[in-house]
Structures are given as C-alpha cells and as structure tokens.
Amino acid sequence: MTSTPQTYFPDGFLWGGATAANQIEGAYAEDGKGLSIQDVMPKGIFGAITDEPTADNLKLEGIDFYHRYAADIALFAEMGFSVFRFSIAWSRIFPLGDEAEPNEAGLAFYDRVLDELERHGIEPLVTISHYETPLNLARTYGGWVNRDLIGCYERYVRVLFERYGHRVKYWLTFNEINSVLHVPFMSGAIPTPREELREADLYQAVHHELVASALATKIAHETNPRIQVGCMVIAMPVYPLSPNPDDVVAAMDADHANLMFSDVHTRGTYPGYALRLFRERGIELDITDADRELLTNTVDFVSFSYYMSSCETADPAKKAAGEGNLMGGVPNPHLPASQWGWQIDPQGLRVVLNQFWDRWQKPLFIVENGLGARDELVEVDGIPTVVDDARIAYLNDHLVQVGEAIADGVNLLGYTTWGPIDLVSASTAQLSKRYGFIYVDRNDDGSGTLARYRKKSFAWFAEVIRTNGASLVRS
C-alpha cells in the first residue's frame, strides 16, 4: 500500500454526509407534525403496513436529531464537512399534505437547522421528498398514481423555496425517484400491493413524479435563479453476466429502466426506448400538452446514490434474485458482499460516473455511498469507540475510484456518505445496520441512551477532507 502523492479532487469539492428526516429526526408527532408513510412501516419494506404507529417502529424516535441537531451538526463540523444533505419531512410542513396553509412550527425547525449549518459554514443540500410522503396522501389519494399529488407537491415546494430559497442553493426533488418501480409504497406512497398494481398505474405514478419534479425546477428558477436543482436516482450499473450478446442486450434493457429517469430529467422528453416499452406493453399514459411543456424544465445537475452494481442475464435459469439496494439483480461471482448481501464494487462507481457524465454532460453529485455493517462499541484508551476498519476500507476504495473518475474528466460537485451518524435503515428499519462515523447508542429493540461516540472512521474521514483526498490509499 502506498499513499497517493497528489489528489485529483478539485478545490471547492464538497465533502460531507447525507441523511433523511424519517431516519434521524424522531419526534414523529411533535409540533404539529402529521403522520408520514414511514410511521406505519415498522419493518421497512419487508413487513406489513400498520393501521397506526406501533411501539416497535424505531423511526418514531429515530436518533432524536429533532432535539439533538445542534450537537450533531457540531460533530459534522468537527470532521470538516462542507456540505450536509438532509430532507425536510413533508408532514411537518403540511401534516395532511393537502392543506392550504403550512405548519409554522415545522418550518421553524428547519430554520434552526439552517442557522446551525450556517454558523459552521456548512452548505445545505436539501431533499424535498425522501420516502416520507404524508400518510393522508397515500390513504385518501392513493399516492402518486393520483394526479392531484402534483398540486399538493407544488404547494409544498412553493413554501420551501419562498422560505429557504435565499439560504439553500442545492435542492433534490425526489430521493431515488427510480425506486418507485420497485417499492411503490415507500417511494410513491401507493398503498396497492406491488403484485396487484397494474404496470400502467406504476408508470403513471412515475410520470406524475417526473412532471412534479420539472415543475419544482421551474418554480425554483423563477423564485431565485441562484438555486440549483438536481434529480436523484439509484445508480446501479448493470453488467452482462456473460459476453453472450443475449446477456448484453438484457443488461442494456435493465440499465435503460434506470437511465430513463435521468434521461427525462436532463433532456426534457421521454427517450425512444421508453416509448417503445409503453407501446409494446400496452401502457397508455395520460400525458397532457401542459405536462410535455413542463418536462422541458431540465435539472441543473444529476445526483445519485451508489452502493452496488448488478448483473443481468437472458437465461431464466440463472436469474436467481440477488439482494441489494431495493433493486436486487443477479449476483456477480467476482464480488464480495456486505453483511446484508449488498455486493461491494468500488470500480462500479467509476464506471457509473463516466457513464452519467458521457451521457448527460451535467455536473454530478454523489449524495449517498457507504457500508451498512454491525458495529461493536469497545473502549480504546478508556474512550468508547468502534474500530470500523471495514468501513474505512470500503470508503477509501470507493473514493479512490471517484478520484479516478475525476481524472477521467468527470465534473463532480461533491460526495456525501450515507448516514454520517448511525440512523434507522430505510429497507429493514433496523438500527444495527450502521453507516456512521458517529455511533449512536440505540439498539434494534429500542433500548439505549442515544449517546454519541466517535468511531475510528471519524478521524479517518476528517483527514480525507482536510487533505482534499490526498490521504486516500491505493491498494
């Protein structure tokens, strides 16, 4: 192992971490907040949706960021963060999602968060909708299948841009918008079970979100031309399982299903392969002329999460489903996997950065990447900590590949690790699936003091930031 002599990361590169309101805030019923879909998903995407919030739902209390935000942000500042990604809980601002007037106490909370970030010179990166649609919009309207959600979302974003537009430059419209095809309730607030949903309804929901996203971009630019709006997608490069051309075409098709979302966001129109899919599967979408006009409001940058790549094959016998960031795929025999079965592929990040840059020529932003792993709190020199060498190795190896992509000419604005502080998992709703540089004393059974402890990776990441990537180690 030798240290890289120089860094490829440009001056002004944004370094930080990313979170979502429903996974950290807690205070699920405080200061007028309404219920969100997460408040009735105690087991994440793997369990039943409950009628009411139940005590086994760890998200109701989260890691209590709602009350501890100032101390947590101070820890991020100690690591040298120049950016912090968080989401606004829609149900704090519009408890039912369809009111005419917003909830002032909810707005005031994010004023306080922004004050704190400003005090530390940390740039906010705000996700408008991160898997936490107001529950009423699911139960009464049927979620994003219903066109009325565009109007509810419009009211919400107008309030956000008016209130925070002068102090938040970077905005993301929908977290992992392409996940609606895979997890319709969590992503699209669609209560109909996946197997009972018609494909046409699913793509109609996709269309409504794409229109809402473009509308948000339009409103943002009208409110304040300084605002930069990005789409946010799951990036998962799809490799052919073999060089058999049948597998190559199968991989291309699977890749298209992901790329379509950013194609629309960056080009303002549906690509030919999507129109073909709609045609051949008999999907007739309700797309108005006004929708087409709105879609031309394209994004300023493309942001994405990256955890893993996947493989595709045309051979049904080999199509055993793998596990992975909401989307699965066929496991790659060349790659190791995390404790949760997510395959680890640092080079895939370089591949996807190049693919996205070549394809769209828009600035990119990596807004999620990290290793979910079990951690053990130990004492080193009398101080409680976690020796998380596997997490350090994971992040180091991915960041080396990010450096390679920058050297390839990719225009990258920044990098935020997922969950810089331990938080509740989106897919499994566990706390034991930890991503943080900061350990939070809370367990899957809800026990724990909520105390925070710096892990070994805390000092490691601080050094990466301090040296702007020069401390990274190539193997």
The residues that touch ligand BGP, with contacts defined as CB under 6 A, are 20, 175-176, 305, 325-326, 368, 372, 418, 425-428, 433
Strand partners, 3: 473
- Is the distance from CB of 43 to CB of 426 less than 8 angstroms? no
Min dist. Cβ of residue 33 to ligand BGP (A): 19
Min dist. Cβ of residue 176 to ligand BGP (A): 5
Min dist. Cβ of residue 368 to ligand BGP (A): 6
Min dist. Cβ of residue 418 to ligand BGP (A): 5
Min dist. Cβ of residue 235 to ligand BGP (A): 11
The question of whether 61 is a catalytic residue gets the answer no
**Set 176, 209, 312, 404: catalytic member:** 176
Reading the block at residue 427, the tokens are 């897919």
- Is the distance from CB of 11 to CB of 153 less than 8 angstroms? no
For 287, residues 6+ apart whose C-beta sits below 8 A from its C-beta are 207
Among residues 40 and 295, whose Cβ is nearest to ligand BGP?
Answer: 40
CB atoms within 10 A of CB 194: 13
Parallel, antiparallel or unpaired: strands 452-454 and 438-440? antiparallel
Amino acid at 258: N
- Is the distance from CB of 429 to CB of 58 less than 8 angstroms? yes
DSSP string, 262-325: HHHHHHSS--HHHHHHHHHTT------HHHHHHHTS--SEEEEEES--EEE-S-GGG-PPPP-T
- Is the distance from CB of 19 to CB of 421 less than 8 angstroms? yes
Strand runs labelled E in 131-215: 170-172
Dihedral in degrees, nearest 10, Cα atoms 206, 211, 216, 218: 150
The question of whether 176 is a catalytic residue gets the answer yes
Catalytic residues: 176, 368
